[in-house]
Structure 1
Amino acid sequence: MSARLNSAQPYALGLFRIVIGLLFAVHGAASLFGVLGGATGTGGTVDAGTWPGWYAAVIQLVAGGSVLLGLGTRGAALIASGSMAYAYFDVHQRAALWPIQNGGEPSVLFCWAFLLLVFTGSGAFGIDRLLARRTVTAGEPAAEQAPLAA
């Protein structure tokens, strides 16, 4: 049983990456374009150039899309994780210490999910894996490559 679970790990990680990236990108799209209820839940958007809301939304859209596609996953995840740490400590923790008290649970969860992706990489189904396979020279094994989905 353990061997089967281990062999499925790159695929589970790839699906995890896709879901986290999609959810993060949707937050950015909602804030920037007012889709899906917008930044305020009423279709509103954040004003262009405002700190930190507009910059956070751009990071969410771009880094989330990059993580979703598995393109530059580790770098995008590092930026996304840092932005969520900033959001938690600058915005939420002012209200109360614990995330359950200050509404910061999404920020904490995104921060740790992205930090995990910094260390694990994209898993299966990512553009990173396709590009890594193309850059490997003939006869030279690629380190830590997950198989591509069939």
Structure 2
Amino acid sequence: MFDRVSTWQPQLLSLLRIVAGLLFVSHGVAKVLGFPAIEGLPAPGLSLAGLSGPLELVLGALLVIGLFTRPAAFLASGFCAVGYWMVHAGQGALPIVNGGETIALYCFVWLYFVAAGAGPWSVDAMLKRR
């Protein structure tokens, strides 16, 4: 049964990139545009959240469409690693304690895309075919 599912691996790679990218973009939209309304957002421009919002927005958009996927994922992964250590690590040793589960997961998902690429449903794949 699972052998047949593995034939969908390339498409599922693209689907993971798109969904994770949309979720990443939502962080940027909240920080930059204040939507949805979350207490303390939009973030002031020179605050840590104010500086991270545009990065999440731009890198997330590139990842959603699958353009420059490997470099965008590399930057996003590094950004998430730095964010984890700057914001969360000082609040406790474990991500479940310090609230860093999401950013830690993003870090490794983006690191995976550095190695795996965008998948077939991407601008990168479309450009490669040409």
Q: TM-score range by the shorter chain?
A: over 0.9
Residue identity matched to 2:29? A
The aligned residue for residue 46 of structure 1 is 43
Q: Name structure 2 gaps, 5 residues minimum.
A: none
Q: Name structure 1 gaps, 5 residues minimum.
A: 135-150
Q: Deviation at 1:22?
A: 0.4
| CA root-mean-square deviation | 1.3
Give the aligned length: 130
Q: Deviation at 1:55?
A: 2.1
The aligned residue for residue 13 of structure 2 is 13
Give identity over the alignment, percent.
38
The aligned residue for residue 109 of structure 2 is 113
Residue identity matched to 2:82? Y
Residue identity matched to 1:47? P
Give the TM-score normalised by structure 1.
0.82
Larger radius of gyration: 1
The separation in 2 between residues aligned to 1:85 and 1:60, in whole angstroms, is 13
The separation in 2 between residues aligned to 1:102 and 1:90, in whole angstroms, is 12
Q: Deviation at 1:44?
A: 2.6
Q: Deviation at 1:46?
A: 1.0
Q: Match of 1:59, SS?
A: helix
- Whether contact under 8 Å (1:36, 1:43) holds in the other structure is no
Residue identity matched to 1:72? F
Give the helix-richer structure, 1 or 2.
2
